[in-house]
Amino acid sequence: MKSYIHNLNKAFENRIRLGIMSVLMVNDSVDFSTMKETLQLTDGNLASHITALEKEGYIHVKKEFVGKKPLTTYSVTKVGMKAFNDHLDALEKLLKGR
């Protein structure tokens, strides 16, 4: 049997990062509060995993003000989309054993 486990992306091994990427793959962008509520995370926990994915170039973070309130939104980059799809393909091959 081929070893497909080596094709899995370490950046997505953590369930929170997997969740963040899954949410972003089906939405154009998601704001901090929505992401936090969707994944039921604390501010700090979400922020640390967002930073890790941003450093990899997998997500884009946009900070702006709406009125006088800060708004942070996230979106997946083309690099992130490819990396996540490759990760899912590797998982599928691992599960199918081919």
The domain total for the chain is 1
Domain that holds residue 85: 10-96
Residue 1 lies in a domain: no
Under 8 Å between Cβ of 30 and 24: yes
Question: What is the full per-residue pLDDT of the chain (98 aa) written as tens digits?
Answer: 456 688 899 999 999 999 999 999 999 999 999 999 999 999 999 999 999 999 999 999 999 999 999 999 999 999 999 999 999 999 998 888 76
In a domain, 4, yes or no: no
Q: What is the CATH number of the domain that holds 73?
A: 1.10.10.10
Q: What angle do CA 95, 53, 63 make, to 5 degrees?
A: 140
In a domain, 3, yes or no: no
Residue 61: enclosing H or E segment and its boundaries? strand 59-66
